[in-house]
Amino acid sequence: MFGRTASPSPSYPQTVEVVKGNNNIKVGNKNLFNFNATYYKRYSANKVEIDGDDLTFSSNRTTENGAIWWNIPVEVGKEIAISYDKLTEATPSQNNSVRYVFADEPLTSISSAAIGTQIDKTAKKALATATNKYLIVLFRIASKSETQLSYTISNVQVEYGTDKTSYIRHAEKNYPITLPTGTEIAKIPNTNYIDEIDVENKKLIKKTQKIDSYNGETITTDYISTTGGLDTGATVYYGITPTEVPITDTTLINQLNDIEKKLKTYQGVTHITQTNAELPFILTLDYKKSNLLRIQALENA
């Protein structure tokens, strides 16, 4: 689909982002670093052992540095603080390090262990502004000919903000969210026309409108279309002035109540992952200081 928005065009089409049906919302605390999630290795010889909040990295490579890394989804444009505590390091000390880089997609392989920017070992934190959708945190393992190298760090934390805060181990839980038939959350790419759910007040805030089959309707805002234009028969999504629609479906209301109770206690960064649609989408649920909780479409996963 393409239309009158910032980027979509016949040469660069984009799909309108729509969420409907059955979904799972993943509620997590402030620490985005889940060391129990899938990680990647540069060489099979690279190993990580997890003991409580301690991570021990090792390698018996005699040439070329190894690496183990995690891909962490983050919100574009937010400042990120990365911190850890150093416990032990190989003797004599080698250039083991913790590094980070932002990327548009998850990294499953790397050409060099010296990826990205090294986190200051003295300050034990690094600050960056996310301009991409993934933060890659990489643990570099230096090579040495005569012995296996290993080092242990603890309390790795990735959080939104400019400063390191008290450590808490990553925790998360999935909650179902079911949009009733005929209800959807849509986003027109590269615009501010993004539908929301006001969790606290149980309202759908519509900022997009769908026309299943265009037939001459007047549209003066950004839109996206199956044909690229306002052609008869095209499916069109276009921007509208925000309109609040009360949610009356009891299943969805009960689900939102459960989410709201959890967030008012946890106040974490959360994601909703689409599980029943043509394409996977990520939604974000932000905890507002006013206690106004909203689910808002973000970007393609």
Identify the CA nearest to 138 among candidates 93, 88, 103: 103
Interval 56-109: pLDDT, tens: 998 887 777 888 999 998 877 788 899 998 777 765 556 788 899 998 888 998
Task: Provide the pLDDT for residue 210.
Answer: 92
Which amino acid belongs to residue 10?
Answer: P
What is the residue-level pLDDT of the chain in tens, covering all 301 positions?
444 554 444 444 455 567 777 777 766 778 889 998 899 998 888 899 999 999 999 888 777 788 899 999 887 778 889 999 877 776 555 678 889 999 888 899 887 655 788 888 777 888 888 888 889 999 988 776 556 678 889 999 998 888 888 898 888 777 788 888 888 888 887 788 888 888 778 888 899 999 999 999 999 999 988 888 899 999 999 999 999 999 999 999 998 888 777 665 544 444 444 444 333 344 445 433 333 344 454 333 2
Task: Provide the pLDDT for residue 41.
Answer: 92
Task: Provide the pLDDT for residue 53.
Answer: 92
Q: Where are the domains of the chain?
A: 17-29+173-300, 40-168
Q: Which long-range contacts (CB under 8 A, 24 or more apart) does 116-125 make?
A: 119/82, 119/84, 121/86, 121/97, 124/83, 124/84, 124/85, 124/86, 124/164, 125/81, 125/82, 125/83, 125/163, 125/164
Task: Provide the pLDDT for residue 11.
Answer: 45
| Inter-residue contact 239 to 225 (CB < 8 Å) | no
* Residues 196, 237: Cα–Cα separation, whole Å: 15
- CATH code that applies to domain 40-168: 2.60.120
Task: Provide the pLDDT for residue 290.
Answer: 34
Angle at 25 between CA 76 and CA 169, to 5 degrees: 75
Interval 261-291: pLDDT, tens: 766 554 444 444 444 433 334 444 543 333 3
Task: Provide the pLDDT for residue 103.
Answer: 87
Please tell me the pTM assigned to this model. Answer: 0.65
Task: Provide the pLDDT for residue 267.
Answer: 47
